[in-house]
Amino acid sequence: MTRARLIALLVGLGVVAAGIAWWLLRPRPPAEVPVPPPPRTVEPPVSPEEAISRLRRELEELRQGGKSVVEYRPPGGDELEAYRGWLEARLALATGGEAAEVTAPAGFRLLDLGNIGQLLVEERHQRRGAGVVVLRSGPAQPWLIEVPHSFFDEGTLEVGLNAFVRSNARALLVNTVHRYRSRDAAAGGGREAGDDEDEGASSDVAHVESSFFSSAHAALVDRLGELGVVQLHGYADASAPAADLVLSAAGSRADVVPVAHALERALGIRVAMYPKQIRKLGGTKNVQARYSIAAGGPFLHVEMSRSLRRQLTTEPERLRAFIAALFGGAP
């Protein structure tokens, strides 16, 4: 090989080496680093006392006028169908399932209270006594607490709120109009609490088949299957003077015996079990009880005397003991 060719070869190799070095050492744009999504904001858990206080404020506002101003207006079939579809969709989401987003039907809205629960309520300017559903999302006990006479049976709302929160129940139903606010109930205003067989008013949601309250009960029972229902009522002391509380399965498969014994031990009260120990206040004409019976589920009808309700709503520790015994004794 001549000297000229050797020089040319070396120069060529130098150019190639320089190209390789440039390629390896060339400046490169910084690698893209994936940006993590912002952390989810998790609401700090609230104490039972805070949850009860918040729910009490919301429900009292929603019930304003229900005793003397708002007149009950019963729903039509299409209204009940839309309402139930909305509730079922919300319930599917609350229990971890999937559901298409369903818009609230006309006259209703959703109030989100964070980890306390969601309220399915009627619009303030369209109030008609439709009632309120409080729905707990996430883990919950398979209990449905119902307060169908929150105005007439004074004190049952406070007991129901505490029961819902402290038992970690799945849902709470509360009426938002007085038992005798419908046009067909003019004679009911002077009745004493305790007439649980009365069926004279369409605004009495415990005794009429077609209501938003009953539709919510049916949706919850059908969706959740093995759901225990506890419905709270009150009676005048004179209606059952030998008892502080009357406990009934209302014909369902619920076993009242362990519940009665748990309440007697915890509170030292006199519990009468229907129908063996007392022949009244058994809730045998209660429409929610009948639906649960048809579905094969347990239904507990709890009648509290006026004196007992006064104790429970003025003595917090006694109320907590009552709830612990009620749900601890129930199957």
What is the reported pLDDT for 73?
93
What is the reported pLDDT for 191?
45
pLDDT of 179 higher than 90 = yes
Q: Token pair for residue 228? A: 């225990």
Q: Of the ranges 177-181, 218-222, 250-254, which one carries the lowest mean pLDDT score?
A: 177-181
What is the reported pLDDT for 188?
47
Strands 228-235, 141-147: pairing kind? parallel
pLDDT digit string, tens, across residues 235-291: 999 999 999 999 999 999 999 999 999 999 999 999 999 999 999 999 999 999 999
Residue 44: pLDDT band with limits 50, 70, 90: confident
pLDDT of 144 higher than 60 = yes
Average pLDDT over residues 150-174: 97
What is the reported pLDDT for 71?
87
What is the reported pLDDT for 43?
64
Task: Tell me the domains of the chain and their CATH numbers.
Answer: 45-329 (3.40.630.100)
Contact 138, 170 (CB under 8 A): no
Contact 297, 221 (CB under 8 A): yes
Distance CA 166, CA 116 (A): 12
What is the reported pLDDT for 189?
45
What is the reported pLDDT for 201?
87
Average pLDDT over residues 37-55: 79
What is the reported pLDDT for 83?
97
CB atoms within 10 A of CB 320: 15
CB atoms within 10 A of CB 138: 10
**Amino acid letter, residue 145:** I
Q: Please give the biggest Cα pair distance in the chain.
A: 130
Residue 123: pLDDT band with limits 50, 70, 90: very high
Mean pLDDT score across all residues of the chain: 87
What is the reported pLDDT for 261?
97
Residue 187: pLDDT band with limits 50, 70, 90: very low
Q: Token pair for residue 298? A: 């347990």
The rounded Cα 72 to chain-centroid distance in angstroms is: 22
What is the reported pLDDT for 140?
95
**Residue 16, CA distances (Å) to 25, 26, 83 in order:** 14, 15, 78
Residue from 149, 133, 145, 122 nearest 208 by CA: 149
Distance CA 278, CA 259 (A): 16
pLDDT of 3 higher than 60 = yes
What is the reported pLDDT for 157?
98
Share of the chain above pLDDT 70, in %: 81
pLDDT of 2 higher than 90 = no
The rounded Cα 35 to chain-centroid distance in angstroms is: 39
What is the reported pLDDT for 190?
43
Contact 215, 249 (CB under 8 A): no
